[in-house]
A and B are shown apart, each in its own frame.
Chain A
Amino acid sequence: MTSVAGTRAAASPRLARWPRLGGAALGRGFVTAYLSIIVLIPIAALVAKSTGGGLDAFWTSLTSPLAIRALKLTLIASAIVVVINVITGTAIAWVLVRDNFPGKRIMNSVIDLPFALPTVVAGITLLALYGSDSPVGINVAFTRAGVVLALLFVTLPFVVRAVQPVLLELDREMEEAAASLGAGPLTIFRRVIVPNLTPAILAGAALAFARAIGEFGSLVLLSGNLPKTQVSSLFIFAQIESGNTTGAAAVSVTLLVIALVVLLLIGRLTHWSLRHAR
């Protein structure tokens, strides 16, 4: 569809001038001003604050033992969550596309629930079943396992929704050809399906990772405000509450940079692999 629109755009030079009659400059001014006031200037203020005391001060607040500990937990928990998501997300997408059973459509709809559910409700939801008075005898409240569980909950849709459309479009003939050439199911999966899904899986994984390292609402009740379960977002919040905004800003900028680098790298990688697949 996009390619059709693309050729159309190239074929009609008048397209580029469309709202100019109504003042495209006005529209551009509005959009730029809105984005600046809402997003760009606040971020600039954050970056300015983090480095306001010089790079030494930035480094000192970033490398304080508590900040390091929080960042380590954040990155390790997010990495675990991404690995689990890659496996479960691909499996769920597979079942949704290739399998057929009663209730499949409901299952397809509930995948998006973590996106629609307020994060603090996600935390309470998990505590209702896996909290201190758990009816199933599993208590993850105030533990690192609880942190991983909450992150799994909020990042569930990313890999599923990235892989699902690719799997839908995947040509079954390729698999049939491989099978007719004597490949077993495992070989077909490894040599035909996995390479085709990899860009989508990576894109989903990157989004899940970026979401996981910044997650706050679902963890605020689950972590119980203990040092051992304090991820970076909780650390930032605690620093703001105790008036150390410089320390909070240093960790914030670090989180922001990590998320942007991961998203940029994966964007490049997907772009590259798509070009080379053709």
Chain B
Amino acid sequence: MPASRTASRLGLRFFAVGYLSMLLLIPIGMIFYRAFEHGAGAAWAAVTTPEALHAFYLTILIAAIAVAANTIFGIACALLLVRTKFRGKALLNAAVDLPFAISPVVIGLSLYLLYGREGWFGGWLLDNGIQILFSLPGMVLATIFVSLPFVVREVVPVLHEIGDEQEQAAQTLGANWWQTFRRITLPAIRWGVAYGVVLATARALGEFGAVAIVSGRVSGSTETAPLWVWREFGQFNLTGAYTASLVLALIAVTTLLAMNSFKRKEAT
């Protein structure tokens, strides 16, 4: 009996590690190899063209705007969901999760229809000289959409956990809502916020489908890093595509490390 136990335990371990290696670890390792296949110089040259640099700049800019907006929204929404009662709360709670259930292409199409010339908003905005589609605002809107739930979902459980006794004490002592928020609530939820921000940033930096539709994909203008990778791969500039993928993958790994360290801080 113990012998067969050990055998099945080792078998299961081998299976789990093998599956993860074949699906995840070895393919990601291959990215390193492919990027530097023709030397570090070639890799460097391929991702420092003006178009590539602009793509990375644009990706970072869009992610920064989207995550900042979603952080403010996320904290406000979480406070509303946990600390207040109102009609339609269950509905709001469900609506926040919607972006998780929707395909990025569907998100892209929704914005495309809304802000296109024929759309409800598009016609009026274009007549007034405001271009949303195929420019930065549309790409930001798409990125906000896909990364919307993260901060809310990380802050809500923390707010539940800390309770509101300290907030009440502060108000009893005469603090107004802003002082209470800044001195009591925000410090207490900071790791939850940080965790949500990291997740939202990772999602925003990698967004592909929705941005592919609303951006118009003009190289050097409305092309983000993931879109650049896609085009370069299609044009058989493999070194460039693999090197840029490697950069994005390294950002993802950094995200994971940040997540793990926040998790530990949250636990203590």
Residue of B whose beta carbon sits closest to that of A108? B260
Cross-interface CB contact of B103 among A23, A39, A130, A233, cutoff 8 Å: A233
| Contact residues, B31-52 vs A (CB, 8 A) | 31, 33-34
- Cβ–Cβ < 8 Å partners of B13 in chain A: 95, 99, 101
- In the assembled complex, the CB of B240 is this many whole angstroms from the nearest CB of chain A, namely 11
- Cβ–Cβ < 8 Å partners of B256 in chain A: 109-110, 112-113, 116
| Contact residues, A88-138 vs B (CB, 8 A) | 88, 91-92, 94-96, 99, 101, 103, 107, 109-121, 124-126, 128-130, 135
Asked if A128 contacts B31 (CB within 8 A), the reply is: yes
Asked if B245 contacts A124 (CB within 8 A), the reply is: yes
- Cβ–Cβ < 8 Å partners of B98 in chain A: 39, 43
Asked if B31 contacts A125 (CB within 8 A), the reply is: yes
Asked if A5 contacts B95 (CB within 8 A), the reply is: no
Asked if B208 contacts A119 (CB within 8 A), the reply is: yes
Interface size counted on chain B using CB atoms at 8 A: 97
- Cβ–Cβ < 8 Å partners of B181 in chain A: 19, 22
Cross-interface CB contact of A38 among B17, B144, B178, cutoff 8 Å: B144
| Interface segment, one of A26-34, A58-66, A165-173 | A26-34
Asked if B226 contacts A46 (CB within 8 A), the reply is: no
Q: How far is the CA of A34 from the CA of B256 in the complex (A)?
A: 29
Q: Does B9 interact with chain A (Cβ within 8 Å)?
A: yes
- Cβ–Cβ < 8 Å partners of B248 in chain A: 117-118, 121
Residue of A whose beta carbon sits closest to that of B175? A21
Q: Does B16 interact with chain A (Cβ within 8 Å)?
A: yes
- In the assembled complex, the CB of B58 is this many whole angstroms from the nearest CB of chain A, namely 14
A-B contact list, 22 entries, CB within 8 Å = A15-B83, A18-B168, A22-B176, A22-B181, A24-B86, A35-B77, A35-B92, A46-B113, A116-B252, A116-B253, A118-B207, A118-B208, A120-B227, A121-B248, A124-B242, A124-B245, A152-B23, A153-B27, A210-B100, A220-B230, A249-B109, A260-B101
